[in-house]
Amino acid sequence: MGRKFFVGGNWKCNGTSEEVKKIVSTLNGGQVPSGDVVEVVVSPPFVFIPYVKSELRSEFHVAAQNCWVKKGGAFTGEISAEMLVNLGIPWVIIGHSERRALFNESNEFVGDKVAYALSQGLKVIACVGETLEQRDAGTTMQVVAAQTKAIADKISSWDNVVLAYEPVWAIGTGKVATPQQAQEVHAELRKWLETNTKAEVAASTRIIYGGSVNGSNCKELAALQDLDGFLVGGASLKPEFMDIIKAAE
């Protein structure tokens, strides 16, 4: 099926210039599997993107953590997709649960953002995931299907999209999904893509997992049939990120 393993590091709103320098130096000093085996993308805060892009080895690609929903202009505090393209940033994370919860980004708004970013030539890591209440209520699949549908409704191609399944209850909590929980949702999401888009989209779209992934639990998760990589938060700021990018070897 040829889905190349994908590991994203989401640095969130963390780091001083000194700390970022250290992370870059750790990444540059580590062994990275060949680009044929794994695609690695790190996502620093906007202000550090130019530094990280210019200093990191070319095996690492750079993503922004967000971008504005349409063409730039009078939107104080926002960063446009055009600006990211202008800086040569290939990737953007859209729909992270922190943006959905803290900045009230609706499914439709996330769908619009994904569509606009793709239209400008960016590649998108699109995040979906249920809260603990939704999981306990047995609505996990309904929730992630609705989030995925809001994206599917707005785009005509999934070629440049990586879908990140990130259960909200697992993000930053140290409470990782069990391999069974992760595989179940990933398989259902792939089935959803098959039913609602095209069989080729389901077969080729990478569905990655995020939520308390670390150097110790990554190998077991990486072995799952429908898991094609990770989006890593906390551990992407630490040297163990180098172990995570080797998880599929």
Q: What is the CB neighbour count within 10 angstroms for residue 175?
A: 12
Which candidate, 40, 37, 97, 38, places its Cα nearest to that of 66?
97
Q: Which of 33-41, 45-53, 118-126, 228-236 is the region at the interface with ligand PEP (rule: CB under 6 A)?
A: 228-236
232 belongs to the binding site for ligand PEP (CB under 6 A): yes
Q: Is 96 a catalytic residue?
A: yes
Which range touches ligand PEP (CB under 6 A), out of 52-60, 68-76, 81-89, 231-239? 231-239
End-to-end CA separation in angstroms for the chain: 17
| From 44, 129, 167, 210, residue interacting with ligand PEP (rule: CB under 6 A) | 210
In the block, residue with structure tokens 């569509």? 115
Of residues 125 and 202, the one with the C-beta less far from ligand PEP: 125
Q: Which of 114, 213, 247, 248 binds ligand PEP (CB under 6 A)?
A: 213
Please indicate whether residue 108 is annotated as part of the active site.
no
Choices 53-61, 150-158, 230-238, 241-249; region in contact with ligand PEP by CB under 6 A = 230-238
Q: Scan residues 148-177 and list those touching ligand PEP (CB under 6 A).
A: 166, 171-172
Question: Least Å distance between CB 98 and ligand PEP?
Answer: 7
Structure token digits, residue 79: 């960063």
Query: Contact with ligand PEP (CB under 6 A): which of 99, 192, 234, 247?
Result: 234
Catalytic residue among 98, 105, 130, 166: 166
Active-site annotation holder among 61, 96, 98, 186 = 96
Question: Which lies closer to ligand PEP via its Cβ, residue 175 or residue 198?
Answer: 175
Q: Considering the complex, what minimum distance in angstroms separates the CB of residue 68 from ligand PEP? A: 20
